[in-house]
Structure 1
C-alpha cells in the first residue's frame, strides 16, 4: 500500500488530501464525513498535519494511523522540528514502522508564538534537514549515532515542503537545491495559483536533478480559495479585488505602489 503511493508520485499521477484533525477526543465524525464525501476513492493518500500554525491538534502520528486503518488509504504523516528533539523523532518513526506508517513530510514548523499555546516552548534542535537525516540513517539500520538497530525496518520515505512564492528567486533555487541534495523522494510546494510559478519551479527542479543525478519529484500544492481571508493568506503580494458566486476570484498585485491585473482563478 505504501509503495503504491511512492509509485504514483514517481509516475506523476499522485493526488492527496490534507487532513487537519479537529481538537476532539474522537475522529469518528470527520472520518464518517470523508467516507460519504467520495474523496477517499479519488486520492492516493492523506496528508495529516502536525499542529499547523502551532495551534493544538491531536498527534499527527496517531491520527495518521487511525486514518490509514479506518479508510484503507495510506497516510503521509507530517512531522515538524518544533515539538520534538532528535531522540523523540527517532523513537516515533521507529515505532510507527510497525503500524505501516512509513511516509513522512518533514518540515521545520511554525514557531510557538504564532499559535494558541503560549506556555509551550519551541524545540527546534535543527531544521527539517535533520529529520531527513534521521530517516536515511534508519533506512540503513542505524540511529543518528551509528548504533545498529536490532531489527530491520521497512523502507521509510522522506518528503519535504518548500515555499512557492519568493521575492528572491535565487534564494528559493538554493533552498530547492539543498532539499534535493538531502535525498528526499519529493518536494511538496505551498499552494500555487500561478501557472508560470509552477513552470518555473518545475524547470528549476529539472536542472537540479540533472546536476545531481537525482529523481526528486515536485508535488504542486493547491488549496481551494473559498474566502477573502484565505486568498490573502496564501497569495503573497496579492489583494483580492473580486469574489463572484460562480467561484471565480480575481487578484491584483501590489508591489512598489504598482497595480496590475494578475489574472483570474476558477475553482471547480
Structure 2
C-alpha cells in the first residue's frame, strides 16, 4: 500500500510540475498576444493547479484502512474533492465565456495568428509528452482523481491542437472574402473550447454526487461484477440471490447474498470462492472489499 501511495504522489507531482510550466508559458503568451483562447487555457490550468496542492495532502488519507468510526475510510472525501474541483472549473469556464462574448460584442480581437499557432502547436506536443508519461504510470491505477487529472491533460492536447489549427486557418483567410471574420476567430475559439470543457466535468460532478450518497455504480460496472461472481459460483452448490455494490471514490464494497441447495454451507468452499472473486475484481478496482453472506430459503 505504501508503494501505491508513493506511486500516486509521483503521478501528481509530475502533473503539477507540467501544469506549472505550461501555466507560466501560457500566462506570458496571453500577455504578449492578448489572445482570449490562450488566456482561457492559462486560467483553466491555474484553477486545476490550485486544486492539485490540497489533493497531495489528501492522498495519504485515502490509504488509511477502514474502521468502525469511518466504515468507508476517507474515500468519500475524494468524491467530494472531485465535485469541488469540477465545480470550480465549470465556474471559471462560465466566466471566460462571458469575457469572450464581451470581446465579440466590442468588435473582436486582433492577434498575431502565426505566433499563436506556433505556440499552441508546441504546447500540444508538450501536453502529449506529459499525458503519455502519466498514462504509462497510471496503467495499474484506478483513482477518480487521477482520471480527472488525465482528462484535463487530454483536454489540453485537444484544445491546443485545435487552437493551433484554427489560427493556421486564420492566416489562410487573410486574402479571402472572409477576412472580416478574423477578429472574431480568437474569442469564438475560446467559447467553443469552453463549451467542450463543460461536458466531462459535469459528468464527473454527477458521478461524484452518486458516489457521495452511496448510489449503486453504473450498470456496466454492476454487470461486470455480476459476470465475475456468477462465473466463480458455477462449480459450487450455491446460487447468487442478490448483489449489493457500493462504490465511493476509489473504494468498492461488494456484498454477495447466496443461497445453498441444502442447509449445509462449507466455509472452505466460500473462502475459496471469495478469494477467487476478489482476485479477479482487483484487476478492475484499486481497493475492493468482498463479503459472502449466506441466506436461507424461506
TM-score by length of 1: 0.24
Answer 1 or 2: higher relative contact order, Cα 8 Å, separation at least 6: 2
- Relative to its length, the structure with more strand (as a share) is 1
Q: Greater helix share, 1 or 2?
A: 2
